[in-house]
């Protein structure tokens, strides 16, 4: 207590940051004040002053509330609060929100910020001239404020007036500090995440963790296993290098095979990790092919299709890309050849996925087949999967052939399963 408690806030940097925040609130209030006074003065002339003030307040608050519903306004308001009031303001305050409970609470914050800020700004503007003026009172015997002046006791008898002025300044510093503390208290409640937000974030994190654990387990099982074989076999081979060349030969073969399969597994797991980033769009796979063909038929294209082999056992990435390739092919047919009959043949073989599509060239609109972005996109997808693709006219028909190697054979059931 004592001097420290009284002068403490004066020396603290945070006090002045809080002050800036409040003054910004006051500055933001100005246009609302003009808006509200204009509207109210237009609406009614001869109203009692109390009613006018109440109406102005009401219109102001309503306008502030509506403005702060805009997500971008919240981001600016929240960022200012976090920068000037410190990290006690939750990070969530700087994010866009769209849920109505969150918007209402943002609005409450904005109203408080602007109104309290307005009052503090007013005092901040008015007080310093008054204090300066009060310093002169003991010498001049009168208190000037603007044009007006009031007679005051001169000399030592008036010494309490400048003292009062300085006390007033000190009080203002305390008010600012206290208001800042109030906002810091309120920030988690009004700008923090709602319980629903927290639940959603928690669920997301749990899902993320589960996914990470799944990947860790996968690496543990597949790559760990393969590398163990590599280590043990290499160690053994080195030990019996001279004594048992036949064993060394077999060991080298085992090492090669294990390392290769470890790389394939890594490929898949890393692929899953990369996919992790943008899984927001629905991921169609060849399992959804019947639906795609049905939709194409509804669009007026006669589709004839055959599927050999178990599509469901394809690696997920292959299945997904193959679906998109079929989709792009069908789109191309519609765009370039019009509503002509299309044949789609899909075959899942031991080491590759074969996709053949063809359609007659003569188009309803006579436009040139092939080319364009669709074909480029298809090539890109096929290249990523290290496959091969050919597309071109053959005897009056447009023929597309795609081959995608299934490098791991069919050992990736688990990966496809989810």
Q: Residue 71 or 224: which CB sits closer to other proteins?
A: 224
379 lines the binding site for other proteins (CB under 8 A): no
220 lines the binding site for other proteins (CB under 8 A): yes
Stretch that binds other proteins, among 154-162, 226-234, 371-379, 407-415 (CB under 8 A): 226-234
224 lines the binding site for other proteins (CB under 8 A): yes
CB of 268 to other proteins, least distance (A): 19
CB of 411 to other proteins, least distance (A): 15
Exposure class string for 95-126: b at 16+ Cβ within 10 A, else e: bebeeeebbebbbbbbbbbbbbbbbbbebbee
Q: Residue 212 or 250: which CB sits closer to other proteins?
A: 250
141 in Cβ contact with 152 (< 8 Å): yes
Stretch that binds other proteins, among 97-105, 235-243, 352-360, 402-410 (CB under 8 A): 235-243
Residue carrying structure tokens 């099982």: 221
401 in Cβ contact with 390 (< 8 Å): yes
Q: How far apart are CA 301 and CA 366, in angstroms?
A: 16
CB of 317 to other proteins, least distance (A): 27
Give helix 71-85 / helix 49-68 axis angle, nearest 10°: 100
Q: Residue 302 in 3-state DSSP?
A: coil
Stretch that binds other proteins, among 227-235, 297-305, 340-348, 408-416 (CB under 8 A): 227-235
Q: Kindly tell me which residue out of 41, 149, 228, 383 binds other proteins, with binding defined by CB under 8 A.
A: 228
Count of residues of this chain found to bind other proteins when the rule CB under 8 A is applied? 22
Tokens of 14: 């945070």
CB of 273 to other proteins, least distance (A): 20
Give helix 13-43 / helix 49-68 axis angle, nearest 10°: 120
Q: Kindly tell me which residue out of 41, 99, 213, 231 binds other proteins, with binding defined by CB under 8 A.
A: 231
Stretch that binds other proteins, among 36-44, 50-58, 102-110, 225-233 (CB under 8 A): 225-233
Count of C-beta atoms within a 10 Å radius of residue 158: 20
Q: Residue 265 or 321: which CB sits closer to other proteins?
A: 265
238 lines the binding site for other proteins (CB under 8 A): yes
In this structure, the strands spanning 342-348 and 303-308 are parallel
Q: How far apart are CA 168 and CA 52, in angstroms?
A: 30
Stretch that binds other proteins, among 181-189, 204-212, 230-238, 406-414 (CB under 8 A): 230-238
236 lines the binding site for other proteins (CB under 8 A): yes
CB of 255 to other proteins, least distance (A): 9
Helix (H) or strand (E) holding 126: helix 100-140
Q: What residues contact residue 398 under an 8 Å CB cut-off, 6+ apart?
A: 333, 336, 337, 358, 359, 360, 361, 369, 370, 391, 392
352 lines the binding site for other proteins (CB under 8 A): no
CB of 252 to other proteins, least distance (A): 12
Helix (H) or strand (E) holding 392: strand 388-394
- The number of residues making up the chain comes to 418
135 in Cβ contact with 165 (< 8 Å): yes
Compute CA 108 distance to the chain's CA centroid, rounded to the nearest angstrom. Answer: 25
Q: Kindly tell me which residue out of 110, 173, 237, 344 binds other proteins, with binding defined by CB under 8 A.
A: 237
Q: Residue 366 in 3-state DSSP?
A: coil
Q: Kindly tell me which residue out of 76, 125, 199, 227 binds other proteins, with binding defined by CB under 8 A.
A: 227
Q: Residue 248 or 357: which CB sits closer to other proteins?
A: 248
Binding mask 244-283 for other proteins (x = CB under 8 A): x--x--xx--x---x-------------------------
Residues that bind other proteins (CB under 8 A): 220, 224-225, 227-229, 231-233, 235-240, 243-244, 247, 250-251, 254, 258
């Amino acid at each position: 207590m004592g001097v420290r408690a009284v002068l403490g806030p004066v020396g603290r940097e945070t006090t002045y940051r809080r002050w800036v925040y409040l003054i910004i609130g006051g500055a933001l209030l100005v246009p609302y004040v003009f808006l509200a006074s204009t509207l109210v003065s237009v609406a009614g002339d001869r109203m009692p002053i109390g009613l006018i003030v109440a109406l102005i307040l009401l219109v102001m608050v309503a306008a502030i509330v509506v403005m702060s519903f805009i997500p971008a306004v919240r981001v600016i308001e929240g960022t200012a609060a976090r920068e000037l009031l410190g990290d006690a303001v939750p990070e969530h305050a700087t994010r866009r929100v769209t849920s109505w409970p969150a918007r209402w609470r943002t609005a409450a914050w904005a109203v408080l910020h602007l109104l309290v800020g307005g009052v503090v700004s007013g005092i901040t503007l008015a007080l310093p001239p008054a204090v300066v003026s009060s310093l002169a009172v003991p010498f001049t015997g009168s208190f000037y404020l603007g044009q007006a002046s009031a007679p005051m006791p001169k000399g030592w008898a008036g010494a309490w007036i400048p003292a009062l002025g300085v006390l007033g300044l000190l009080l203002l510093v305390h008010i600012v500090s206290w208001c800042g503390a109030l906002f810091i208290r309120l920030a988690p409640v009004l700008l923090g995440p709602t319980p629903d937000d927290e639940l959603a974030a928690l669920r997301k994190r749990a899902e993320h963790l589960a996914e990470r654990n799944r990947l860790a387990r996968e690496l543990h099982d597949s790559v760990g296993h393969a590398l163990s074989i590599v280590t043990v076999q290499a160690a053994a081979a080195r030990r019996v290098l001279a004594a048992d060349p036949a064993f060394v030969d077999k060991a080298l073969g085992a090492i090669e095979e294990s390392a290769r399969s470890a790389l394939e597994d890594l490929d898949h797991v890393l692929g899953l990790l990369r996919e992790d980033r943008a899984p927001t769009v629905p991921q169609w796979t060849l399992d959804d092919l019947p639906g795609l063909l049905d939709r194409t038929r509804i669009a007026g294209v006669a589709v004839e299709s055959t599927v050999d082999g178990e599509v469901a056992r394809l690696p997920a990435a292959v299945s997904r890309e193959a679906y998109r390739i079929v989709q792009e092919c069908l789109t191309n047919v519609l765009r370039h050849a019009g509503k002509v009959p299309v044949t789609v043949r899909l075959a899942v073989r031991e080491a590759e996925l074969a996709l053949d599509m063809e359609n007659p060239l003569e188009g309803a609109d006579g436009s040139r087949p092939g080319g364009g972005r669709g074909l480029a996109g298809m090539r890109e997808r096929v290249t990523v999967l290290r496959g091969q693709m050919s597309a071109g006219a053959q005897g009056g028909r447009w023929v597309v052939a795609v081959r995608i190697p299934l490098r791991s054979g069919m050992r990736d059931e688990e990966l496809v399963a989810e």
